[in-house]
């Protein structure tokens, strides 16, 4: 009897694992030009009407952990790349990157605004009852997974980015909206710490470039066509992890003991100098 139960149980467990993996891959879908978090309650990022979705992908990253026990831990990321072409009289050429990053278990995203870059004009924002932060940053080859050294047209001056971040679903989901325009400062490419002359109209266009949409029973969001394809290798996963931010982890009693032991060793080494 026990053998029969085991024979029946193993396929069921395998089937459950496959279903879970497929559901996890469809945690974020793309439909109607939006990236949509399918987890209830569903949530979507809608870019401005003049933006077209060029590509949507998914990947796994290894963000840094706040705890010293484990340096990194995997998280799942979905991203969409948008552009408005050459722009028009009202809006200059612009690009947008929308990132939805999920973590699970005892992990949650830290509320840090920008990781690994110097940011300016840090402000608190509110979209559809979600509180976020907005910061102006300068994308470079050292901090941007999509940086291209040899651009054409106005983009050969480099770009300025206005990065908006939200945390939701008990800090399990981080939403990043990265709005970019050509760097039209008098000295393009100069670090923001040396030249903070960022046009206010750029910030205003960035803040108005998207909106968040919540699905409901009366107005559900579209379901999407399936799991997104994987990210190409030229998109640096480490830079994407740095851009996404740090993870926090609830620590066990033994991990706290280990951290305490590390602190004791540091104190002892200090007095031995």
Q: What is the pLDDT of residue 238?
A: 93
Structure confidence at residue 217 (pLDDT): 55
Q: Which neighbouring-strand residues pair with 168?
A: 173
pLDDT given at position 98: 97
Domain boundaries, the chain: 27-266
pLDDT of residue 152: 84
Please provide the DSSP assignment of 234-249 as one string.
TS-HHHHHHHH--EEE
Question: What is the pLDDT, as a whole number, of residue 16?
Answer: 37
| Predicted structure pTM score | 0.81
Find which of 115-119, 187-191, 221-225, 262-266 is predicted with most confidence, using mean pLDDT: 187-191
Rounded mean pLDDT of 109-125? 69
Query: Which residues are paired to 28 by β-bridges?
Result: 37
The pair of three-digit structure tokens given for residue 140, joined into one six-digit string: 């470079």
* In the predicted structure, residue 236 carries a pLDDT above the cut 90: yes
pLDDT at 57 (0 to 100) = 95
Q: List pLDDT tens digits, range 143-162.
A: 999 998 778 888 999 999 99
Q: From residue 210, how far is each of 28, 34, 163, 170, 238 by CA, in Å?
A: 18, 10, 12, 23, 27
**Average pLDDT of the segment spanning 58-77:** 82
């Amino acid at each position: 009897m026990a053998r029969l139960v085991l024979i029946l149980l193993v396929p069921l467990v395998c089937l459950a694992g496959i279903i879970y993996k497929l559901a996890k891959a469809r945690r974020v879908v793309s439909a109607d030009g939006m990236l949509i978090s399918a987890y209830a309650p569903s949530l979507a990022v809608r870019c401005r009407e003049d933006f077209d979705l060029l590509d949507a992908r998914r990947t796994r990253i290894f963000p840094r952990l706040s705890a010293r026990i484990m340096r990194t831990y995997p998280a799942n990321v979905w991203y969409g790349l948008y552009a408005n072409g050459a722009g028009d009289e009202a809006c200059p050429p612009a690009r947008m990157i929308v990132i939805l990053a999920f973590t699970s278990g005892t992990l949650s995203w830290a509320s840090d605004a920008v990781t690994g870059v110097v940011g300016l004009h840090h402000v608190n924002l509110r979209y559809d009852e979600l509180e976020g932060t907005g910061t102006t940053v300068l994308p470079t080859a050292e901090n941007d997974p999509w940086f291209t050294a040899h651009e054409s047209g106005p983009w050969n001056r480099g770009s300025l980015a206005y990065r908006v971040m939200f945390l939701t679903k008990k800090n399990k989901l981080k939403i990043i909206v990265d709005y970019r325009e050509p760097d039209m400062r008098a000295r393009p490419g100069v670090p923001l710490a040396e030249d903070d002359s960022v046009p206010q109209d750029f910030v205003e266009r960035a803040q108005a470039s998207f909106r968040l949409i919540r699905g409901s029973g009366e107005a559900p969001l579209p379901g999407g066509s399936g799991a997104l394809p994987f990210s190409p290798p030229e998109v640096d996963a480490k830079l994407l992890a740095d851009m996404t931010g740090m993870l926090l982890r609830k620590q066990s009693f033994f991990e706290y003991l280990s951290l305490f032991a590390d602190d004791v060793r540091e104190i002892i080494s200090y007095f031995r100098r």
